A and B are shown apart, each in its own frame.
Chain A
Amino acid sequence: MTPGSLPFARDDGKGSVSSDARVKSPRFTLSPMNQRRLENFRRNRRGYWSFWIFLVLFVASMGSEFLANDRPLIASYKGEILFPVFVDYPEEKFGGFEATTDYRDPTIADEIDAHGWMIWPPIHFANNTTKLDPPTPFPSPPTWSLTEDQCKAALAAQALRRHTEPPPGGGSCRDLEPEWLGTDSNGHDVVARLLYGFRISILFGLILSGISSVIGVFAGAVQGYFGGWLDLAMQRVIEIWSSLPHLYILIILSAILTPGFFVLLSILLLFSWVSLVHLVRAEFLRARNFEYVNAARALGLSNSKIIVKHVLPNAMVATLTFLPFIVNSSIGTLTSLDFLGLGMPPGSPSLGELLLEGKSNISAPWLGLSAFATVALMLSLLIFIGEAVRDAFDPRKTFS
């Protein structure tokens, strides 16, 4: 090799290329690293299936109104197609006099059925629909757990109240309106409560962890990247902040403010953003001295660009791995606050409130058991997903 001529050993043995091939932009593909991660995620069977189950449950609960509602989805009345799910029709339309229509009222139902038809969601209860004629006093058990005698007695009582004849031969349990998991002590259907409660819990968890991650990552990034006095000061503030007794402050605040979804969200946010800061800060401290970060500095990139392009992706791995667990703890916090009676306003469908009902009605095991099963299922699914995400980002993970 003589100096002056360029001695290029092409290790891959490829020759020169035409100039149009080299300027063509690549179409969108997943980078090899992300392909590997996706592969690893799929290889964790439990996590992968949990992810799909969770996704189905999540999407289903987003459409709770179409699964459990006290209004029909579509109704036809005197030749007119109505959408009671979306539109509030006054009762006078059907010959009544209330401002809103109670489609579960036998009079209205019979009136509509006489002049058209109704398509109901699978569950005829919304989260706050009170059952008017329960087979037993509230909390009433699931209808499938009733004996024939109980059903007959209930049907007879119903007929008496409505001034109609009981079904011929006293009827059977099939003639009762089905209650898959019974009702709580306010006469609300438990399945509907679970659906709506699941939705609120998940949304709350996702929004809370989303916002606290953004704040946490930002704070950690600033601390880790710039270091020095800023880091020192913020660390001390965070230490003091996180040593405050959270629960007492929550109790005090919820006594002053009227609890609601967003009030609770903001109160919990006050403390939850701290959880990611240390992690992200450590990642930034490590990554800011990487040679490619130095190289970027030498190329003249501004600090904000370096942070976003070179350092943040490192921290995102740790953040994403942590995220399902943060969602979990957010849901856990909300549920326990509801259980203590400090959470969502009374009447809102929440899993914690249902657990509390289960506790105060030991004789109605369907309340506690179904709430427990839902919370356990939800948290386990998220943990399994979290494990799979952790596997996906683990560079040393191999499956045999």
Chain B
Amino acid sequence: MSADGPLLDVRDLSVAFGQGAKRHTVVDRVSFALKRGQTLALVGESGSGKSVTAQSIVRLLPYPSASHPSGEIFFGGRDVLKMSNAELLGIRGSKITMVFQEPMTSLNPLHDIQRQIGEIIELHEGRAASTRARVIELLTEVGLADPAARLGAFPHQLSGGQRQRVMIAMALANRPDLFIADEPTTALDVTVQAQILKLLKDLQGKLGMAMLFITHDLGIVRKIAGDVAVMQRGRIVEAGRTAEVFARPQHEYTRTLLAAEPKGEAPLADETARTIVSADDVRVWFPIRKGLLRRTVAHVKAVDGVSVTVREGQTVGVVGESGSGKTTLGLAILRLIRSRGPILYCGRAIDALTASQMRPLRREMQIVFQDPFGSLSPRLSVAQIVEEGLLAQKIALNPGQRREAVARALTDTGLDPDTMDRYPHEFSGGQRQRIAIARAMALDPKFVVLDEPTSALDMSVQAQIVDLLRALQQRRSLAFLFISHDLKVVRALASDIIVMRRGKVVESGVAREVFDAPREDYTRALFAAAFSIDADESGAVSQ
């Protein structure tokens, strides 16, 4: 191998799953090359085959149900696909290492940090007394605060960002030539995401390794990768220098992706509009009980004194990192969990109503959940899902009218009413989210809590859902409580904003003012991380 030849050279790689007639190709003749010190980003929506491509580089696919009808993968001049298992084991974890999306499931929950990292080192270098020191060195390298004290910690005792740092330390332990990062920041909060990206970039510069970075987020690509390859349905539709591709996209799909970021301005806050929901000093405390008598020793303050006012036809955005209590706040306002503090709906106090007294009000207060796969029962057809609320509220009537109502709700949310007798698994994520929205809209509500309705969706679909929500809001004068960690989406929809952290409000006010001139350090750090993927150095955010 010549010094300036590519470290990794993938030629005409195809991946197929299944056998015989049912075989379907998920990666179709993909070629790319990667040199030492270079970063290549594979971008695409879910199902485009980017992860499968990356996993075939170290032959991690479930063979023999997966197969390679064509292609070669040269790593350091040798074809990985033709290597023996013994040779492969020598490469995996030492020359080529991977970091996956979900750091919780990638770490063994029964081993402490020292053992997890030590195992990798010992596997390739043998047992040595210096292992402990080496582990500490690695943890320092990945920026884990106070590494010596954390050696005995188990994965569940670490935060998501810390776990991902441990994963990176494991991946770097043997100084790999090629580092594959498969959506390493997708499961993390924006502020942490910015830190991890900065860390990866720094480490790559220092160690001079090649990095294959898989993501669906174009913002990250711009930040981290010198080269980019855009994948769609198993093919690379466009590849080149990141700056060039972003400035002058050639392929139509790339242009769609680039244009997919949620756009549009939220309507200005209107103080005169009718108040639909107002909650004052809402508290949701979960007791921590200890001892034989289960005495309450303390509380987890999931929501601690938050006040919200949602007006007709307007959106209040609730933003914050995971665990900040935003979802709990939404559930409390809908009285789906127990809370304290007055909640008024159209001027009527609802915080003391019983479950059966609440039932008629459910018609007017609805919720859309984050995960369009989890929120639709797989056993019911679309029509059954959408009409469920109508049945529960004893509205509408005979079966024919009910199907009419379902058809209307589906049309309103941009779905073909003909599909109402199909089952959820036949729909894509975006379509499923439309079904979930249709289910809420079928009841003709006045107030809807949207709990991260776009987070589980691809970027281009996110924009469509945001447009749909805005259109529905305008047409029906809906009041939205929009919960999200995605500030771009919030900016496109919310006229008021509440920034939450650890159950408390950090900052709140008219969205435009807060976005233009955040007053608090934390808000500023959050915005920097979200809009320009800059890591905060001031210490306002946690690791």
Contacts and interface: CB of A to CB of B under 8 A. Distances in A.
Interface residues of A, number: 42
B446 to A, nearest CB: 14
Given A23-B400, A295-B375, A32 B423 contact: yes
B423 A5 contact: no
Nearest to B393: A300
Interface string A296-307: 111111100100
Contact of A8 (B404, B414, B425): B414
Interface string B236-256: 000000000000000000000
Contacts of A21: 418
Interface stretch (A10-18, A133-141, A147-155): A10-18
Interface string A82-107: 00000000000000000000000000
B264 A22 contact: no
SS class of chain B's interface: helix, strand, loop or mixed?
helix
B423 A3 contact: no
Contacts of B375: 291-292, 294-295
B378 interface: yes
Given A6-B471, A31-B381, A299 B423 contact: no
A300 B471 contact: no
A300 B389 contact: yes
A26 interface: yes
Contacts of B371: 291
Interface in B391-407: 392-393, 399-400, 403-404, 407
Contacts of B431: 11
Contacts of B336: 294, 297-298
A255 interface: no
A25 interface: yes
B interface, how many residues as a size bin? 35 or more
Given A295-B439, A298-B367, A11 B471 contact: no
Interface of A is mostly: loop
Contacts of B379: 31, 33, 313
Nearest to A313: B379
Interface in B379-432: 379-381, 388-389, 392-393, 399-400, 403-404, 407, 414-421, 423, 425-426, 428, 430-431
B470 A3 contact: yes
Nearest to B460: A9
A261 interface: no
A302 B397 CA distance: 19
B421 A301 contact: no
B405 to A, nearest CB: 10
A169 interface: no
Contacts of A296: 388, 392
Contact of B471 (A5, A12, A14): A5
B464 A9 contact: yes
Contact of A4 (B407, B414, B419, B471): B471
A7 to B, nearest CB: 5
Nearest to B18: A398
Given A6-B468, A299-B362, A26 B374 contact: no
Given A22-B418, A301-B388, A31 B423 contact: yes
Contacts of A302: 359, 392
B415 to A, nearest CB: 8
Contacts of B378: 33
Interface string B425-450: 11010110000100100010000000
Interface string B64-105: 010000000000000000000000000000000000000000
Q: Which 3 interchain pairs have the tightest Cβ spacing?
A: A8-B414, A300-B362, A291-B375
Interface of B: 19, 65, 264, 334, 336, 358-360, 362-363, 365-367, 369-371, 374-381, 388-389, 392-393, 399-400, 403-404, 407, 414-421, 423, 425-426, 428, 430-431, 436, 439, 443, 463-464, 467-468, 470-471, 474
Given A292-B377, A300-B360, A309-B380, 16 more contacts: A1-B467, A6-B467, A8-B415, A10-B416, A19-B407, A22-B420, A32-B426, A33-B378, A291-B370, A292-B374, A292-B376, A294-B367, A298-B362, A298-B365, A299-B389, A299-B392
Interface of A: 1, 3-12, 14, 16-17, 19, 21-26, 31-33, 290-292, 294-302, 305, 309-310, 313, 398, 400
